[in-house]
Amino acid sequence: MISIDDISSAATRLRGVAVETPLIRCAELDQVAGGRIYVKPECLQVTGSFKIRGAYNLLSQLGEMQAKNGVVAWSSGNHAQGVAAAGGMLGISTAIVMPEDAPKSKIENTQRLGGEIILYNRYEGDREKIAKRIAAERGASIVPSYDHPHIIAGQGTVGLEMMLQAQAQDTEVDQALVCCGGGGLIAGSAIAMKSLNSDVKIYPVEPICFDDTARSLCSGQREKNHQNARSICDALQTESPGEITFPINKKLLEPGLTVSDDDVRSAMRFAFRNLKLVVEPGGAVALAAILAGKVETARKTTLVVLSGGNVDYKLFSEIMADGD
């Protein structure tokens, strides 16, 4: 359903909207990995995560009546901010269903960007049902957080940028590690990357308790996470892989990697101290996999996506202090 042409078209729409984040290296990280590691810091993106890419790509293609009636989305925070920001740019009203325990900074930033917030209990409520009910009442369009062709194509511009930036540096890429929740970012990125280099290996990385994609890749069917699962990686707490994203990922990805919350905390500290970057828990899982030795990196060139940097000050301070 999604081709490299769709992703290239999304890149054109996003020109001047999304930031082309750099591809950077760090001597300390190369030393730990025993190879060359290139980091894509989407924590420096508009709204602090890659989500603006998919949100703007979808909203910018709405018809006149659809745009007039507004949109409804559901999100733990990063997609919420992306939708609110895109809506503000395009003059489209936005309402987002968010968990009441979402990081305070994500809720406040979404409101600041013009989004209407509807809170719910993530462990008792069904965010999709709530959003679809509101959309039906208002005649609004739904903007899924990952399971939509336009969202996937927009997120795929991350992978397209990485490969073109690596090519510009005369770098042959062996593998890439990308965080995975519902699978939109890695599905789109995998399409783009495989189109430019069919030999590149792409690994999804998830928190241990939210490893639905890893288990699904093993079983060949969409698996669900346990309702009692918990993690500090709020951005990656999806119930199961997407209906659209999973067939793509099943075809293109390597086996899934998982990291613990402690691995994530260590990666956040490493990013701050060595890369001088603030990365949120869900945005740090791919880096955590490198640092924890979850994949062979010696004498290889590896791309790593830091997908977001929207973390509450209190949590970030606690994690930094724990490493002192």
Residues annotated as catalytic are 51, 76
Contact yes or no for 40/177 (Cβ under 8 A): no
Count Cβ atoms below 10 Å from residue 91 Cβ, excluding itself. 9
Question: Which whole-number Å values give the CA distances from 288 to 72, 76, 143, in the listed order?
Answer: 33, 21, 30
Report the side by side order of strands in the sheet with 36-41: 36-41, 301-306, 175-179, 201-207, 257-259
Give how far Cα 230 sits from Cα of 31, 204, 226, 260, Å: 32, 19, 9, 11
Q: Which residues face 72 on adjacent strands?
A: 95, 142
Of residues 131, 199, 93, the one with CA closest to residue 190: 199
φ and ψ of 282, to 5 deg: -65, -30
Helix-, strand-, coil-residue percentages of the chain, each rounded to 5? 50, 15, 35
8 Å CB contact between 79 and 85: no
80 sits in which H/E element: helix 78-90
Phi-psi region of 299 (alpha: psi -120 to 50; beta: other; left: phi over 0): left
- Tokens standing for 321? 């202090």
Please report, as a single letter, which amino acid is at residue 70.
G
Q: Tell me the residue length of the chain.
A: 324
Catalogue the E-assigned strands of 272-323.
301-306
